[in-house]
Homo-oligomer: A and B are copies of this chain.
Amino acid sequence: MLKFLALFSFPFTAFAAGAEGSPVGENLLWLALILMSARLFAPLAQRIGFPAVLGELLLGVALGNLTLLGITFFGTITHDPIIAFIAELGVIVLLLQIGLETRLKDMVAVGPRAFGVGAIGIVMPFVLGAWVVGPWLLPGKDANAYLFLGATLSATSVGITGRVFRDLGKLDLPAARIVLGAAVIDDVLGLVILAVVSSLVSVGTVSAGAVGLILAKAVLFLGGSIGIGRLIAPWTSRSLARLDAGPSMLFAQVLSTALALSWLAHVMGLAPIIGAFAAGLLFEPVFLRKFERPAIVREIEPLLPTDLPVGEPGLARLVERLRVILARHSGHQHEHMIEPIGYFFVPVFFVLTGMQVDLQTLADPSILIVGLGVTAAAILGKLVAGLAAGREAGGWLVGWGMVPRGEVGLIFAMTGRQLGVMSEAMFSVIVIMVILTTLITPPVLTLLLKSRRS
């Protein structure tokens, strides 16, 4: 019965009796397991001084490779579209949070440097991959294969780095903002490179029009969403607050904006997370001041006397301190409201990212050695770009922050495999590079940030 019901319409699957092992049912269990075990792993990572995200990634690696021990239960998660969507919401919520905690003017301030870093961070790895390590470590391949290898090395996946900076409370560093800005640039330039290389492979030529269209769409989206958004956000916030000044309206406005812009970015060919980040940049706290402050703040405020009675120094001191505390807890309520959503969704993304890691690819020594070489080139390329940010901005931080290739690199490689230009061996090499760049970054960034502090 269930199959039919599942096809027919939604609530039935939930309530149909005796639906043992239906994907819907199992997804509930999977989410419970991911949510709880991620929260158990995070403190362990933090105990040894690393951000929670490392615990989630390693948990994912462990779960994803239980199949090596014959435990296949978790193997199916990575192929489940519902869990995949939850994970996608996770990285969208994360970039929304990062955007909300970033002021646009700070982004603009680092704009030029971010652009330089992003551009160099695309060009350097591309050159290294296409004309140096490719021909050297994987000789005798088609020139187009090397181009694709270069394109793969040029990718940047900002999720990991953003999470590390956030876990360690370092989003306010210039380095963090430069990485975020450079990641946006890289997503756009990466699209261009992928389009160019793909059309070189498939039709042998590159149409300037196609490249122009990609650039136009990207610029249109970024300029349009942030530009227009910031014009109307104050107005919509005011009118929505007039309709209902409660927290749920505030929450709905911020989150639905993030979801809508993620969709728009996706339609424009950009990564959805770029849209979520843009949505976060839209909402300056001032736009949202019309919404109610937390209940406890609203209850305490009227108790504080405006004119302090003489002869009560203790009262004066207390009131003064209370005002400071209340002020601190008055703003940013939307951030506090998005937080629980993040607790729920974000770990799913990082655990599943970890589950993508197939340790078997590390088994073949010859491929592993080549993979290590390509990984070195992938890291070197981004470090060079990072140094362009300048020492005082924390060049090493910026460089390492752009090292993770994550899912973006894999998409490039898979496109190459789809077009039949990339061999299985080269694909395995790239998988190794993605694994290493993704897993090595959180600890390295943590150590760099700690050495700065001391």
A interface residues with partner B (beta carbon < 8 Å): 1, 4-22, 24-29, 31-33, 35-36, 38-40, 42-43, 78-85, 87-88, 91-92, 191, 194-195, 243-244, 248-249, 251-253, 255-260, 262-263, 266-267, 269-273, 294-297, 299-300, 303-305, 309, 311-312, 314-315, 318-319, 321-322, 325-326, 329, 337-341, 343-344, 349, 352-353, 356, 406-408, 410-411, 414-415, 418
A257 to B35, CA, bound (A): 10
A255 to B25, CA, bound (A): 16
A285 to B410, CA, bound (A): 46
Chain B residue with the shortest CB-CB distance to A20? B267
A267 to B266, CA, bound (A): 37
Check A12–B248 contact: CB distance below 8 A: no
Chain B contacts for A312, CB-based, 8 A? 311-312, 314-315
Q: A17-B194, A337-B340 are in contact. List 7 more A-B contacts (CB 8 A).
A: A12-B410, A17-B195, A28-B260, A35-B252, A296-B326, A312-B312, A315-B318
Check B266–A25 contact: CB distance below 8 A: yes
Check A344–B11 contact: CB distance below 8 A: no
Check A321–B303 contact: CB distance below 8 A: yes
Check B271–A14 contact: CB distance below 8 A: yes
Check A260–B29 contact: CB distance below 8 A: yes
A167 to B344, CA, bound (A): 24
A35-B255, A300-B322, A411-B15 given as contacts; is B9 within 8 A of A356 (CB)? yes
* Nearest CB of B to A353, in Å: 7
Q: List 23 A-B contacts (CB under 8 A).
A: A9-B356, A10-B81, A10-B83, A10-B87, A10-B88, A11-B87, A11-B356, A12-B411, A12-B414, A14-B272, A20-B267, A27-B85, A29-B263, A31-B259, A35-B259, A39-B252, A248-B343, A295-B329, A296-B325, A299-B325, A311-B311, A337-B343, A341-B341
